[in-house]
Each structure stands twice: as C-alpha cells, then as structure tokens.
Amino acid sequence: MEPDDELCLCFHVTRRKVANFLRIRQPQRVGQLSECFGAGTGCGWCRPFLQRMFETAQEGNWAGPQLPGAADYARQRSEYVGGKPPPTASGPEKTSPTEH
C-alpha cells in the first residue's frame, strides 16, 4: 500500500494521513486514531491495520508495517462487508428501488 492509498475506505483516509497523525499527535491509545478524519469508525475493516500502524509507531517505526496493495486491500474489504464494492469518492453506491 502506497502512502496516498486509502487505508480507511469508508471515510477516504489515506495511509499518509494516518502516519502523519501518528507522528505529529502521538496518540496514547489506538482509539484516538478516530480523531484522524474518522478513521476506523465505519465498517471496521481498517481497525486491525490501524492497530498495526499504531503499534509500529509506538516502537518508533514511523514508516509503519507492510500492508496489502491497494487493489488487494479493497477486494478483501469488499468481502468483509458482504460482497459490496467499496464506496467511491463520487458517492454511495446506487441501488434500484426494489432493493432494501
């Protein structure tokens, strides 16, 4: 995963934003990462990855852990939320009037 790839797909928070938040704000608890544009407060898929980034930052490793590539990450997240495609920057997925 590259720095400008989205780590939190629900709120479009990039890995770079999380890394900078960790470096500058130095949160004491992983839950404080939610202050970084809402990261981790949506579907929950990114929480284990946020945890890993938090832990490596606590060890002084600002580069962070190795994470899956963006396409693989999005595919795995899609499976996690029940086969729905990840949201796009253009807006929520459109459904037909018959779907609930």
Q: For residue 62, is it within any domain?
A: yes
pLDDT tens track for 8-44: 999 999 999 999 999 999 999 999 999 999 999 999 9
Q: Does any domain span residue 51? A: yes
What was the pLDDT predicted at 95? 43
pLDDT of residue 88: 47
Residues paired with 91 in a beta bridge: 88
Q: Which two tokens stand for residue 36?
A: 């970084």
21: in domain: yes
Residue-wise pLDDT tens digits, 50-98: 999 999 999 988 777 888 888 898 888 888 887 655 444 443 444 444 4
Number of domains forming the structure of the chain: 1
| Residue 96, in any domain of the structure | no
Q: Is 98 domain-assigned?
A: no
Residue 15 belongs to what H/E stretch?
A: helix 15-25
Q: Is residue 33 part of a domain?
A: yes
Quote the pLDDT of residue 60: 87
DSSP 8-state symbol, 8: E
Q: In whole angstroms, what is the distance from residue 32 CA to residue 25 CA?
A: 10
List the domain range (segments joined by +) for residue 52.
6-80
pTM of structure:
0.75
